[in-house]
Every structure is written in C-alpha cells, then in structure tokens.
Amino acid sequence: MTTIVVGAVNALLGRRRRAVRWQRSVSRLLIAAAIAFVLVWIIFLASNTSAGSAVSAPSEFLKSILNALTISGIYFIVASGFTLVFGLMRTVQMAHGSLFLLAGYFALEYQLDFLGVTGTPDRNIVGWGDWWLPLVIGVVIVSGLGLFIQQVFLRWNQGQDLRQALITIAISIVLGDQMIQHFGGVAEPITLTHQIHGYVNFAGIRYGIHQLFVIGMALGVGGGLWLLLKKTRTGMVIRAGVDDTPMVQALGINVQKVFAVAFVLGSALAG
C-alpha cells in the first residue's frame, strides 16, 4: 500500500513539474515573439503607417543591433569563463580580465614575430595561420597561467572568498604593470587575413564576416558549455564536487584534478 501511495505522489509531482516547465517555456516564447514583433514593426512596418517611421534610418538601427550582438558575443565568451570559475566552482578569480588582456597581447606579439614586421601588418600578407595560430598560442599561455594560479594560490584557499579576492587582485595588479612595462599599454588590433575581412549584404546593410564569426563562436561556446555541464560525466562531477566534495571523493574521484580542468577551461575562455 505504501509503495502505491509513494508511486502516486511521485507521478503527481512529475506532472506538476512538467506543467511548470511547459508554462515557463510558453512564457519565454511569448516574450521572444513580442520582442521580435516590436523590432520588425520599428524597422520595417512603421514607415508605412500614418504615424510614420519610429526610426529615422531603419538600416542604421539594424546595423547597430548587429554590432551590439558582436560586442555581446565577445563579452559572453569572456564572461562564460568567469561564470564557470566563479559561478559554478565558487572560486573568486579577480584576475580574469588580466588574462583576457594578456592573451591578446601575446597573440599580437607572436603575429608580428611570425610576419617579421614591427608595425601594423598589411592585411594582404596575413595568411590563415598568421592570425589563428597566434590566437591559439595566447589561449594556451593564459590557460597554463590560470592553472598555475589555481594550483599555487587558490587551491589551498578553497572556500576563503576574501583571501581569494585579495590574492587574485594582487595578481591582476602585477600582470597589469608587467603588460604596461612590456607592451606599453596601448590598444593594438590583431590583423585578420583578407579572406575573413570581407562583408556580406544583409537587409540592405554591409556586415563583416569576422563579426559573424564572433557571433557563431559565442553560440558555439554557449552550446558547448551547456553540453559539457549537463550531458557529460565531467560536468556532472564538477557540479557535484562543488556541492559535496567529501562524497565525490569517497566515490574515488579526484576532485582537485577535475577542478583544475575546469579552471583551465575558464582561463582559456578568457583568452
């Protein structure tokens, strides 16, 4: 009798959970549809009404939205690494932005070394390997530096938020001063190859292929992190290790090794 009652209660709770998820999905879909309708109305339909256009230059407005998506994609990639380290592992990493800058400077330095130039190189002489290989090198360097920071400074202060914040702020200051000393602290762009620096026509505006590349990369990073954390054993171990480290260790899993892998991934996303 008890088994039947428990089964009935579980079935009822399951139906309620599915109903709640369905309601949330419908609400999100309605909100997204409303936002899409407003944007379409402002950009394309309002000019044909007696009220006139809500935007004086719809194409420029759409271009601004696309540019905002590109910048948001960059911020998302960097912030996803910070979220993985701070939001999931609960490790205060205030030097995350310094790793982002350091990876960019290293990539620029290696690109200039590969091309054998001192100033901004001509885009026509930059090949595929001359821009993506320096980026990979920069990511690898900051990943190793992130692992060093985690193993030497943060691993022994797990759960000590104030200590972690002070340590990583100090590391950020040191890295910032070293970058100013070595690189001059001047913003310099990575020169892309001319093959990816073209434009596509979209709704009457020109949009850079490299900007589409950034948006696609952001979507790929988001999807990859979701799959890693929700669908793989490593992601489950990371989440379980944060919530109940002794229990995961009792199962024979090296939690510190998994945390190190997660920290390397977060540092790589910063790069």
Please state, in angstroms and rounded to a whole number, the distance separating the CA atoms of residues 167 and 161: 10
At residue 25, the pLDDT reads: 77
- Gap between the Cα atoms of 168 and 151, Å rounded: 13
Q: What is the structure's pLDDT at 171? A: 92
Which segments of the chain have a pLDDT < 70?
1-16, 18-20, 41-58, 119-124, 194-195, 202-203
The pLDDT of residue 172 is 92
- Report the C-alpha gap between 7 and 13 in whole angstroms: 10
Separation of alpha carbons 87 and 186, rounded Å: 31
pLDDT at residue 54, as a whole number:
58
Indicate the average pLDDT of the chain.
78
Q: Residue 5: its pLDDT value, please?
A: 47
Q: In a 10 Å sphere around its CB, with 0-12 CB exposed, 13-18 middle and 19+ buried, how is residue 91 labelled? A: buried
This prediction's pTM: 0.73
CA distances from 59 to 30, 82, 122 (A): 26, 35, 31
Dihedral, CA of residue 58, residue 64, residue 70 and residue 72, to nearest 10: -110
**Separation of alpha carbons 85 and 94, rounded Å:** 10
pLDDT of residue 69: 86
Please report which helix (H) or strand (E) contains residue 249, including its range.
helix 245-250
Strand duo 205-208 + 199-202: pairing = antiparallel
- Which pLDDT does position 51 carry in this prediction? 53
> Taking a C-beta distance cutoff of 8 angstroms, is the pair 13, 5 a contact?
no
b or e along 22-34 (b: 16 or more beta carbons within 10 Å of the residue's beta carbon)?
eeeeeeeeeeeee
Query: What confidence score (pLDDT) does residue 110 get?
Result: 82
Looking at residue 49, its pLDDT comes to 55
Q: How far apart are CA 180 and CA 175, in angstroms?
A: 9
Query: In angstroms, what is the C-alpha Rg of the chain?
Result: 24
Tell me, letter by letter, the H, E, C secondary structure of 203-241: CCEEEEHHHHHHHHHHHHHHHHHHHHHHHCHHHHHHHHH
Contacts of 112 (CB under 8 A, 6+ apart): 118, 121
Per-residue model confidence (pLDDT) at position 250: 79
d(CA 19, CA 49): 41
Residue 201, SS3?
Answer: strand
- Enumerate the domain spans of the chain: 1-56, 59-270
Which residue type occupies 40?
Answer: V
